[in-house]
Amino acid sequence: MAFSALKLGCYVQVGLPTVSSSSSTSGPLYSNSTILVSPFGALVSVYSKHFLYETDFAWATPGPAFIALDLPFPPSSPFHSDRGRAFRLAPAICMDLNPKDFVAPFEAFEFASFAKQEKVDIVACSMSWLDSEPPRATAEEGEEEEGRTEWEKVHRTLGYWVMRMEPLMESRVAFVGCNRVGREGDTIFTGSSCAIELQDRPTVIKYATKRKEEVILAKVRLPPRED
């Protein structure tokens, strides 16, 4: 992570399990987390997933809250020379986008409401989002998706993520989602990593396909800052 951040001159966010000790328990605490590394290779933040998915409960402890981070622009940014400028990023992990435990009201929009309240510029979401339309086990690879454009394969997933950002509509906040691809046992992930500007009509700046591991490069405009 540090090597990549130094090489590219940018922030790097990576999802991984973390462990910490606790005086209130007899053993270590495990969390589903993201780590953010600075352009200079230093650890900036560890965020632990606040809303756990059903498979997380077997091993992970929920993080205490959502967080927002004020970060100076990296050397690779044209705004780096303006030392007084910074941007605000809210990290998220997969289930954080959904209603808590799938029990809270759909329109509560807990994470997006937090991001709006904190006036974030970027939402950076690391995901292992499942495919809601997986191919049949008996189908040949790609057989059921023949004849569909790449956009037709991903637009429902992107549409749902945008829907969960409803409180941020018209804000020009940038939503950046990085999702896993491929299979793990019988579990199929849906790819579709993307960069989206949340305008009055959300604009998909760039997206990856559903089945292949890809790198996407996207330039987004951040919300105007109040002086």
The confidence score (pLDDT) of residue 49 equals 98
The confidence score (pLDDT) of residue 79 equals 79
Q: What is the pLDDT of residues 82-140, one digit of tens each?
A: 766 899 999 999 999 999 999 999 999 999 999 999 999 999 999 999 998 887 664 55
The confidence score (pLDDT) of residue 101 equals 97
Q: Does any domain span residue 14?
A: no
Q: Which two tokens stand for residue 42?
A: 């230093």
Q: Does any domain span residue 215?
A: no
Q: Does any domain span residue 33?
A: no
Q: Does any domain span residue 213?
A: no
Task: Say which residue, 9 or 136, is predicted with more confidence.
Answer: 9
The confidence score (pLDDT) of residue 20 equals 87
CA 65 vs. chain centroid, Å, equals: 16
The confidence score (pLDDT) of residue 147 equals 76
pLDDT over 90 at 191, yes or no: yes
The confidence score (pLDDT) of residue 161 equals 98
Mean pLDDT of the chain: 91
The number of residues making up the chain comes to 227
The confidence score (pLDDT) of residue 145 equals 66
55 lies in which domain range? 47-207
CB-based contacts of 207-215 (< 8 A; 24+ apart in sequence): 207/151, 207/154, 207/158, 208/154, 209/150, 209/153, 209/154, 210/131, 210/145, 210/150, 210/153, 210/154, 210/157, 210/181, 211/142, 211/145, 211/181, 211/182, 212/181, 213/181, 213/182
The confidence score (pLDDT) of residue 32 equals 98
pLDDT over 70 at 70, yes or no: yes
What does the pLDDT average to over 25-31?
Answer: 83
Q: Does any domain span residue 23?
A: no
The confidence score (pLDDT) of residue 116 equals 97
Q: Does any domain span residue 217?
A: no
Q: Does any domain span residue 41?
A: no
Q: What is the pLDDT of residues 197-218, one digit of tens each?
A: 999 999 999 999 999 999 999 9
Of 8-17, 19-28, 37-46, 123-132, the range with the lowest mean pLDDT is 19-28
Select from 176, 148, 150, 152 the least CA-distant residue to 162: 176
Q: How many domains does the chain have?
A: 1
Q: Does any domain span residue 68?
A: yes
